[in-house]
Amino acid sequence: MRKRSKFVSVIDDDESIREALPDLLRSFGLSVEAFPSAEAFLGSQALETSDGIILDVAMPGMTGPELQRELRRRNLRFPIIFVTAFADEMVRARLISDGAVGCLFKPFSDDELQNALRLASLVI
């Protein structure tokens, strides 16, 4: 019997990330859906089916950290891997102390992503 592949939601306002990252994640054996905003994710079925989230920090509207707090408020616990174009170690430390599995600085390598996915128990 085959196990269901893990389902990951990618939430990023950058269209190029929403197009490229899902292909890479699929090459790791994951199922993926991409969303242009936190609000789009919150209004989707993926809210109930995601095994993990890859989440941009800075987005128009609700930011990544605000979504993280909203999910916690709703008692929804997903492994969250943040991605950001701003390489700030203090921000990374705060996000991880608030419960994120990791925070990758764009551009990140395939290996960095795969290691974060392992920490989140999304790939072996």
For helices 110-119 and 15-27, the axis angle rounded to 10 degrees is 70
Q: What is the pLDDT of residue 50?
A: 97
Alpha-carbon distance of 102 to 16, in angstroms, equals: 21
Q: How many CB atoms lie within 10 A of CB 108?
A: 17
Which domain does 60 fall in, by range?
A: 7-119
What tens-digit pLDDT sequence spans the chain (124 residues)? Answer: 456 789 999 999 999 999 999 999 999 999 999 999 999 999 999 999 999 999 999 999 999 999 999 999 999 999 999 999 999 999 999 999 999 999 999 999 999 999 999 999 998 7
Is 114 domain-assigned? yes
Is 113 domain-assigned? yes
Is 2 domain-assigned? no
On whether the CB atoms of residues 100 and 81 are closer than 8 A, the answer is: yes
Is 85 domain-assigned? yes
Alpha-carbon distance of 72 to 21, in angstroms, equals: 25
Radius of gyration of the chain (CA): 13
